[in-house]
Structure 1
Amino acid sequence: MQSILSTPRFDRMLAFYAGVFGAVETMRFPEEGDVFYVGLRIGDSELGLVNEPDAGHEASARYALSIEVDDVDALLGPVEALGGKLLGAPNDMPWGQRVAHVHDPDGNLVNLTR
């Protein structure tokens, strides 16, 4: 399974996922000219970004990406520096995970987990 996000702010979203999570581009279509789609690898997962300049700016509250990271706290600065928003302090969950909830630049919910 792969998650795909459509965004009217393609360059900003690409910079966010590359800068915060170290996402590596695995595919670009078309290879030259105005980009429509970029496939990204984050760890052992895939994320697609679709460049849709006419798409709305509102994110769905029913969708969240959960990304396993090495250090939740260390990523909070890059999240905000790259246009994301911290939704509260990180929490230690009873089941052993450390979790922070953030929004990416388009307002999509992203859970940082360790």
Structure 2
Amino acid sequence: MSATPRPAPAAVQPVIVTPDLDRLQAFYTGLLGAEEFTRVPEEGPVFFVGLRLDGSELGLVADPGVATGTPTRILLSFAVADVDALLDRVEPLGGTVRGPANDMPWGMRVAHVQDPDGNAVNLTQPV
């Protein structure tokens, strides 16, 4: 019996639906240095913004009717150079710090924060 070949894996791009695209874009660009690489449409009211963070991408979609602050079922985790240095920037950018950074037994320093929409975000760095 021969195995069925699997298709090659595709790239994964998390996309956040938000009622305030400008606010969320400012959070991720201000905190993590994300850079806009695409905007749809290019002129007029924007529907989609693609952000690039080193080799990764994050999409933001505008939907004024979406609710925020409800418990999320997804966690965005970002590897950063210095977790502690970023914590002071979270709240001025509209996010929430859920507690201090902690060294985890698996060798990572982790801070739990929320973006301005209430989405769970982890900032991580190797210990």
TM range (shorter): over 0.9
Deviates more, 1:38-47 or 1:100-109: 38-47
Pairing partner for 1:99 from 85, 110, 122: 110
Please state whether the residue corresponding to 1:81 is helix, strand or coil: helix
Q: Name the structure 1 match of 2:8.
A: none
Give identity over the alignment, percent: 58
Pairing partner for 1:62 from 53, 61, 73: 73
Q: Which has the larger radius of gyration?
A: 2
| Structure 1, unaligned runs of 5 or more | none
Structure 2 Cα separation of the partners of residues 31 and 112 of structure 1: 31
Residue 55 of structure 1, CA deviation: 1.1
Taking structure 2 as the reference length, the TM-score comes to 0.87
Please state whether the residue corresponding to 1:6 is helix, strand or coil: strand
The reply to whether residue 80 of structure 1 matches residue 91 of structure 2 is yes
Structure 1 segments of 4 or more deviating over 4 A?
Answer: none
User: How many residues align structurally?
Assistant: 114
The reply to whether residue 9 of structure 1 matches residue 20 of structure 2 is yes
More RCO (CA 8 Å, sep 6+)? 1
Please state whether the residue corresponding to 2:87 is helix, strand or coil: helix
